[in-house]
Amino acid sequence: MELKDLMKIIRKRLLLISVIVIAACALTGVKTFLYTDPVYQATAKLIVSQSFEVDGTRTIDWNVIQSNIKLISSYKEIMNSSAILNKVIVQYPELHATPGEISSALQVSSASDSQVMNIEVKSTSVERAVNIVNAVATVFKNEIPSIMKVDNVTILTEANADASAAPINKSPIFYIILSFIVSLMLAIGLVFLLDYFDDTIKSEDDVLKSLDLPMLSHITRINKSEFSPRKSRSSKTKAGEGTYVTAGQ
Amino acid sequence: MSQQDNKQRRHLITAINPKSIVSEAYRTLRTNIQFSAIDRQMKVLMVASATVGEGKTTTVTNLAVTYAQEGKKVLLIDADLRNPSLHLVFQLTNRIGLTSAFLHQQSLTDVIGETNIDNLFVLTSGPVPPNSSEILGSQRMQFLLEELKNMYDVILFDTPPVLPVADSLIVSSYCDGVVLVVHAGKTKKEIVKKAKASLDHVKARILGVVLNNNERSKNEGRYYNYYG
């Protein structure tokens, strides 16, 4: 199919396309401007390391560092487990949170080959995000010696409200542009699909190709205005025919 | 005038506004029919379509008007005995018509109605009979048609759709040519192909296709405005 044909198909259903796109953008706009609360994210950092003394001097052992790094993946699981989350709720009743709520807001990550763990909590309130992340970090640090029989977790930085004050949501404009692009693509896809499934006769080409019959006439849709001859005459003078003739003579 | 009348009058665009684009298209149809057979006289014609509501009646009435405007004596016969509509278009009575001429042996001149268009006469269908295919296929029908051929220059048939009933196939056997009306953007290719096959099967002479109810492009309008 030629590009011209594709354009023709799109132009024919331009109304449908624009309705879909405008509706999608409007819905996204309403959703993002009116019904989306800003989300804040608070981050605390934990470092997993311990130093030990050999002959009175503090040393760093490569093997220990490696095992600490390996431990981090276990720590990630432990932090999300009820062993920690239940304790958080018991020790910080003022959070009024459930384990599930914390678990869903909590994200633990670490860079590869790094002993630093990031604990992130997202919430619609800055204070709440900061309080939860600090509560989890503290409880985790306190509990890990009894769970793993090793005391190698230290809180590197606690979350604070100032650092997390800006919401992390993308701007509504971003979502509207996104929905514009996506809905435009879907609408054009739909139009092509409709055209593909449309097996009606539409043009002289169709008549020749599928029926092998000549075309005798195109009868176009009748406009209401064409039922009164006077009106069509006035439209003719508007086209300038009368004045043209006299000017030519 | 009631709304119903207005709606029916709309069929007659060629009579109301002969200078319109649509009327021009009907004149093109008339010309193309005349040129589609130089060696053969196109005296008895019929307008067929695969299914209901593709614009047979509109096409046949406007074609009849353009023939009449050309100065020919035209007879328009409503062969759609099951669901007649020509009497509505021309606001004639349907208590007498083709079937009454047939069954009550009334003379043809009594049942043929005059219209307010010069040279255009209409034979309405008459009361709806139970056996329309038999009436249309009978020998008496052929005699009637021979008689009418001597009285008129052009005879046009409005018929029921091709696919549901056999009536139009029977009528097509009397005709010098069949014009197939296709509703653009509504009729499926397969359906029209089937209708064409049925007409081919009874050896009807399909002259060509009239595409009906097309979207009008802007260029086309400008073209006609300039020259019309």
Mean pLDDT per block of 10 residues along chain A (249 residues) reads 83 91 93 84 85 69 82 85 86 84 86 85 86 88 83 83 77 90 95 87 81 85 62 42 41
Contacts of A12 in chain B (CB under 8 A): 215
pLDDT of A90 = 87
Does the beta-carbon distance from A217 to B185 stay under 8 Å?
Answer: no
Does the beta-carbon distance from B186 to A200 stay under 8 Å?
Answer: yes
Contacts of B200 in chain A (CB under 8 A): none
Question: A57 has which bridge partners?
Answer: A54
Q: Tell me the residue length of chain B.
A: 228
Contacts of B225 in chain A (CB under 8 A): 235-236, 239
| Distances in whole angstroms, Cα of residue B40 to Cα of each of A212, B35, B205 | 21, 10, 12
Per residue in B103-113, pLDDT tens?
A: 777 787 888 88
Contacts of A200 in chain B (CB under 8 A): 184-189
Option in A199, A219, A228 nearest B189 (CB):
A199
Q: Tell me the residue length of chain A.
A: 249
Does the beta-carbon distance from A219 to B211 stay under 8 Å?
Answer: yes
Per residue in B54-63, pLDDT tens?
A: 888 888 999 9
Does the beta-carbon distance from A217 to B207 stay under 8 Å?
Answer: no
Average pLDDT on B187-203 reads 90
Rounded distance, CA A128 to CA A105, Å? 11
Rounded to 5 degrees, what are φ and ψ at A215? -100, 125
Q: Please indicate if any CB of chain A lies within 8 Å of the CB of B10.
A: yes
Average pLDDT on B135-147 reads 88
Rounded distance, CA A210 to CA B189, Å? 7
Contacts of B186 in chain A (CB under 8 A): 200
Q: Please indicate if any CB of chain B lies within 8 Å of the CB of A211.
A: yes
Calculate the average pLDDT of chain B.
83
Rounded distance, CA B122 to CA B113, Å? 5
Contacts of A241 in chain B (CB under 8 A): 226
Does the beta-carbon distance from A227 to B187 stay under 8 Å?
Answer: no
pLDDT of A145 = 84
Kindly state the helix (H) or strand (E) to which residue B75 belongs, with its residue range.
strand B74-78
- Which residue of A lies nearest to B6 if distances are taken between CA atoms? A227
The token duo for B121 is 């006469």
Does the beta-carbon distance from B216 to A221 stay under 8 Å?
Answer: yes
Interface of B with A in 29-58 (CB under 8 A): 29, 32-33, 36, 55, 58
Contact A231, A225 (CB under 8 A): yes
Q: Please indicate if any CB of chain B lies within 8 Å of the CB of A199.
A: yes
Rounded distance, CA B136 to CA B171, Å? 7
pLDDT of B75 = 93
The mean-pLDDT minimum among A68-72, A231-235, B18-22, B165-169 falls in A231-235
Q: In the β-sheet with A40-48, what is the strand arrangement from edge to edge?
A: A106-110, A116-123, A40-48, A153-157
Contacts of B179 in chain A (CB under 8 A): 216
Kindly state the helix (H) or strand (E) to which residue B76 belongs, with its residue range.
strand B74-78
| Distances in whole angstroms, Cα of residue A50 to Cα of each of A15, A46, A156, B141 | 67, 12, 13, 112
Does the beta-carbon distance from B189 to A206 stay under 8 Å?
Answer: yes
pLDDT of A224 = 62
Q: Please indicate if any CB of chain A lies within 8 Å of the CB of B175.
A: no
Contact B179, A216 (CB under 8 A): yes
Q: Please indicate if any CB of chain B lies within 8 Å of the CB of A243.
A: no
pLDDT of B200 = 92
Contact B95, B69 (CB under 8 A): no
* SS3 of residue B194 by DSSP: helix
Judge residue B216's burial from the number of C-beta atoms within 10 Å of its C-beta, 0-12 exposed, 13-18 middle, 19 or more buried.
middle
Does the beta-carbon distance from A220 to B225 stay under 8 Å?
Answer: no
pLDDT of A228 = 60
